[in-house]
């Protein structure tokens, strides 16, 4: 046994281990970066780019690493590149790892809900910013165990490099055995060294996994290596749980860490008044603010099949006006909203917001999309609220609201924080600012989402069925926040089936079906005396609930 230890601590084997560590570390970093690039290429809608990445992955995964190493060792000098064998090994291992990393990174990215990038886009975040801040941090939790796997496999696999004369651990062990035939002792020593190194990798993985856990980050636990091991297997200490109960009132519960917000800033009572309807008053100018002219949208589906969902919609929304949009599922309401801030491209017609096209420029009378869509969206300052909230899952309420002002509009952290606190106060969530979305009720999440949209100082707010995904008792708290916005004079386009809400706050109600506007008018006209059969049928249906 002492012989084993003696070999394990001999500088000859330790140097071999060090070579293995160096090759692994360098090749892994390079392989992951290249793998990320390949993963993004694979996800590209451009066929030549995704095809190129596919081909690379196909080739590298389909051939033995050993052959790849020999090939590179032989090929590089022929094109005039002379490198030592260790560097060659790093290149070989990196190129090989990239093919595997590309696939697990792509898997991690695909596992992050598309709604996260849609929300980021609506806030004016560009694709690189979205990748760095929103998608990759969430994908990392799925990717990390695979990185750890890959690192361990590579470390052990570095012995293959002896084929191109890299003097690493296994190779050195064999050299000793060749002289003294002490198979067991020498190989056991090598095994101990491998085991030590792979154990370190496993420990690092454990620490990183805990760091990536948003819950632990939120409660400010920054575990050390030992701390992580100590806590392994114990349930995380969670913050005081937010009981998912209704109404802004619970925010002043016993776990309220902040002083109770001023009553004037709290949303109005969520309970909607009984008839007669008390109309909310706000000023509407005559000036058109959002103009839709013969707007058409056709989706091209798999196999080239075309689906026309908007068949020439024309309408104006005036500055300060609140327009509610109703219509059966599939009638094109969401598509219409997504066209306004260019989350989706027009198939025909045009839309202007405050006189300007969003993400298009006019060239010889036709619209051409601009290259930098994200900046165009950021400049247009159009706030959007989604049916399923689409909050950034790894951010707290406060971070969700601060993200776009800081990263898109260059607001300082202090100013963004102050504004975010103020907005969260206005939606009645001052005591929930450090909660992750998963610890908030649906109504609370939607109120955070509204605060997040307001944080970009929008000139127009788009709501896409903001209460449809909520339990009935949570609808009121969200509607009361929206109602307060209308009092402030915000121009709004609200897709909703809440008839009572529309009666109270809408200046105009638009009823759509099958991609066209069927009927429009005041809430009185459309909701009380609908002219069209389709409108009547639809209203009967929603009023029956």
Least separation in angstroms between CB 515 and ligand ADP: 8
Q: Is 335 an interacting residue with respect to ligand ADP (CB under 6 A)? A: yes
Least separation in angstroms between CB 344 and Mg ion: 12
Which 292-321 positions form the footprint of ligand ADP (CB under 6 A)?
299, 301, 307, 309
Q: Is 542 an interacting residue with respect to ligand ADP (CB under 6 A)? A: no
Between 445 and 496, whose beta carbon lies closer to ligand ADP? 496
The region of 106-114, 220-228, 323-331, 532-540 touching ligand ADP under the rule CB under 6 A is: 323-331
Between 73 and 463, whose beta carbon lies closer to ligand ADP? 463
Least separation in angstroms between CB 506 and ligand ADP: 17
Between 95 and 326, whose beta carbon lies closer to ligand ADP? 326
Q: What is the DSSP letter of 217?
A: H
Between 244 and 349, whose beta carbon lies closer to ligand ADP? 349
496 binds, among Mg ion, ligand ADP, none (CB under 5 to 8 A by kind): none
What is the spatial distance between Cα 451 and Cα 440, in angstroms, rounded to a whole number?
Answer: 14
The region of 83-91, 149-157, 331-339, 436-444 touching ligand ADP under the rule CB under 6 A is: 331-339
Q: Is 345 an interacting residue with respect to ligand ADP (CB under 6 A)? A: no
What is the spatial distance between Cα 543 and Cα 474, in angstroms, rounded to a whole number?
Answer: 18
The region of 109-117, 207-215, 234-242, 322-330 touching ligand ADP under the rule CB under 6 A is: 322-330
Between 334 and 480, whose beta carbon lies closer to Mg ion? 334
- What token pair was written down for 27? 């090749």
What x-and-dash track marks residues 430-459 binding ligand ADP by CB under 6 A? ------------------------------
CA 501 to chain centre: 31
Place of tokens 């064999």: 174
Q: Is 496 an interacting residue with respect to Mg ion (CB under 5 A)? A: no
Q: What is the DSSP letter of 255?
A: T
Kindly determine how many residues on this chain lie close enough to bind ligand ADP according to the rule CB under 6 A. 12
Between 236 and 369, whose beta carbon lies closer to ligand ADP? 369
Q: Residue 187's CB: how many other CB atoms inside 10 A?
A: 17
Between 92 and 327, whose beta carbon lies closer to ligand ADP? 327
Q: What is the DSSP letter of 286?
A: S
Please report which helix (H) or strand (E) contains residue 486, including its range. helix 472-487
Q: Are 542 and 327 in contact (CB under 8 A)?
A: no
Between 334 and 535, whose beta carbon lies closer to ligand ADP? 334
What is the spatial distance between Cα 529 and Cα 234, in angstroms, rounded to a whole number?
Answer: 62
Which 150-189 positions form the footprint of Mg ion (CB under 5 A)?
none
Q: 170: closest CA among 156, 184, 153?
A: 156
**Residues facing 322 on adjacent strands:** 492
Q: Is 193 an interacting residue with respect to ligand ADP (CB under 6 A)? A: no
Radius of gyration from C-alpha coordinates of the chain: 30
Q: Is 332 an interacting residue with respect to ligand ADP (CB under 6 A)? A: yes
Between 334 and 486, whose beta carbon lies closer to Mg ion? 334
544 binds, among Mg ion, ligand ADP, none (CB under 5 to 8 A by kind): none
Least separation in angstroms between CB 343 and ligand ADP: 10
Which residues neighbour 70 within 8 Å (Cβ) at sequence distance 6 or greater? 163, 164
Q: Is 466 an interacting residue with respect to ligand ADP (CB under 6 A)? A: no
CA distances from 521 to 256, 296, 370, 524 (A): 45, 22, 35, 8
331 binds, among ligand ADP, Mg ion, none (CB under 5 to 8 A by kind): ligand ADP
Q: Are 266 and 444 in contact (CB under 8 A)?
A: no
Least separation in angstroms between CB 335 and ligand ADP: 3
Q: Is 330 an interacting residue with respect to ligand ADP (CB under 6 A)? A: yes
Least separation in angstroms between CB 331 and Mg ion: 8
Q: Are 216 and 235 in contact (CB under 8 A)?
A: no
Q: Residue 463's CB: how many other CB atoms inside 10 A?
A: 26
CA distances from 491 to 348, 402, 498 (A): 24, 23, 18
Q: What is the DSSP letter of 63?
A: S
What is the spatial distance between Cα 527 and Cα 392, in angstroms, rounded to a whole number?
Answer: 36
Report helix, strand or coil for 307: strand
What is the spatial distance between Cα 480 and Cα 488, in angstroms, rounded to a whole number?
Answer: 13
What x-and-dash track marks residues 311-340 binding Mg ion by CB under 5 A? -----------------------x------
Q: Is 390 an interacting residue with respect to Mg ion (CB under 5 A)? A: no
Which residue's beta carbon is nearest to the bound Mg ion?
Answer: 334
Q: Is 535 an interacting residue with respect to ligand ADP (CB under 6 A)? A: no
The region of 162-170, 199-207, 326-334, 353-361 touching ligand ADP under the rule CB under 6 A is: 326-334
Phi and psi based region of residue 102 (left: phi greater than 0; alpha: psi -120 to 50; beta: remaining):
alpha
How do strand 360-363 and strand 516-521 relate by DSSP bridges?
unpaired
What is the spatial distance between Cα 202 and Cα 341, in angstroms, rounded to a whole number?
Answer: 46
307 binds, among Mg ion, ligand ADP, none (CB under 5 to 8 A by kind): ligand ADP
Helical axes 169-180 vs 183-212, angle rounded to 10°: 170
Q: By the criterion CB under 6 A, which residues form the site for ligand ADP?
A: 299, 301, 307, 309, 327, 329-335
Q: By the criterion CB under 5 A, which residues form the site for Mg ion?
A: 334
């Amino acid at each position: 046994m002492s012989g084993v230890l003696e070999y394990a601590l001999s500088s000859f084997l330790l140097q071999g281990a060090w070579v293995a560590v160096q090759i692994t570390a360098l090749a892994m970093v390079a392989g992951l970066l290249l793998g990320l690039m390949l993963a993004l290429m694979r996800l590209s809608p451009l066929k030549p780019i995704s095809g190129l990445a596919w081909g690379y992955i196909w080739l590298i995964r389909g051939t033995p690493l050993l052959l790849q190493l020999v090939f590179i060792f032989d090929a590089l000098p022929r094109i005039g590149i002379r490198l030592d064998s260790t560097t060659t090994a790093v290149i070989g291992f990196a190129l090989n790892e990239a093919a595997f990393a590309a696939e697990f990174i792509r898997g991690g990215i695909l596992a992050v809900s598309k709604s996260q990038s849609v929300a980021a886009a609506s806030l004016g975040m560009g694709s690189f910013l979205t990748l760095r801040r929103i998608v990759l941090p969430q994908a990392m939790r799925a990717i990390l165990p695979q990185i750890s796997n890959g690192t361990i496999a590579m470390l052990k696999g570095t012995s293959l490099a002896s084929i191109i004369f890299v003097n690493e651990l296994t190779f050195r062990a064999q050299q000793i055995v060749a002289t003294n035939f002490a198979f067991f002792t020498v190989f056991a020593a090598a095994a101990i060294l491998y085991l030590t190194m792979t154990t370190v990798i496993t420990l690092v993985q454990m620490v990183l996994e805990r760091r990536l856990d948003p819950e632990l980050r939120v409660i400010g636990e920054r575990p050390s290596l030992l701390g992580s091991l100590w806590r392994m297997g114990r349930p995380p200490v969670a913050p005081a749980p937010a009981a998912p109960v209704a109404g802004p009132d619970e925010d002043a519960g016993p776990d309220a860490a902040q002083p109770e917000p001023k009553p004037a800033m709290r949303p109005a009572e969520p309970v909607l008044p009984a008839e007669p309807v008390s109309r909310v008053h706000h000023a509407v100018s005559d000036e058109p603010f959002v103009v839709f002219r013969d707007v058409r949208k056709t989706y091209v589906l798999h196999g080239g099949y075309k689906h026309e969902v908007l068949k020439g919609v024309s309408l104006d929304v005036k500055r300060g006006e609140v327009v509610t949009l109703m219509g059966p599922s599939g009638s094109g309401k969401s598509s219409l909203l997504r066209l306004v801030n260019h989350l989706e491209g027009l198939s025909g017609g045009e839309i202007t917001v405050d006189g300007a096209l969003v993400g298009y420029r006019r060239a010889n009378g036709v619209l051409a999309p601009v290259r930098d869509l994200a900046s165009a969206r950021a400049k247009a300052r159009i706030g959007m609220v989604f049916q399923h909230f689409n909050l950034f899952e790894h951010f707290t309420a406060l971070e969700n609201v601060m993200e776009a002002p800081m990263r898109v509009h260059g607001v300082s952290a202090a100013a963004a924080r102050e504004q975010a606190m103020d907005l969260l106060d206005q939606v009645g969530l001052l005591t929930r600012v450090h909660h992750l979305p998963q610890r908030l009720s649906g109504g609370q999440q939607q109120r955070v989402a509204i605060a997040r949209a307001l944080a970009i100082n929008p000139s127009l707010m788009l709501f896409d069925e903001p209460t449809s995904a909520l339990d009935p008792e949570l609808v009121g708290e969200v509607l009361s926040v929206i109602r307060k916005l209308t009092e402030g004079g915000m121009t709004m386009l609200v897709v909703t089936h809440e008839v009572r809400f529309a009666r109270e706050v809408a200046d105009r109600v638009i009823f759509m079906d099958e991609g066209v506007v069927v009927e429009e008018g005041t809430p009185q006209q459309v909701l009380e005396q609908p002219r069209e059969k389709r409108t009547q049928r639809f209203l009967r249906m929603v009023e029956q609930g």
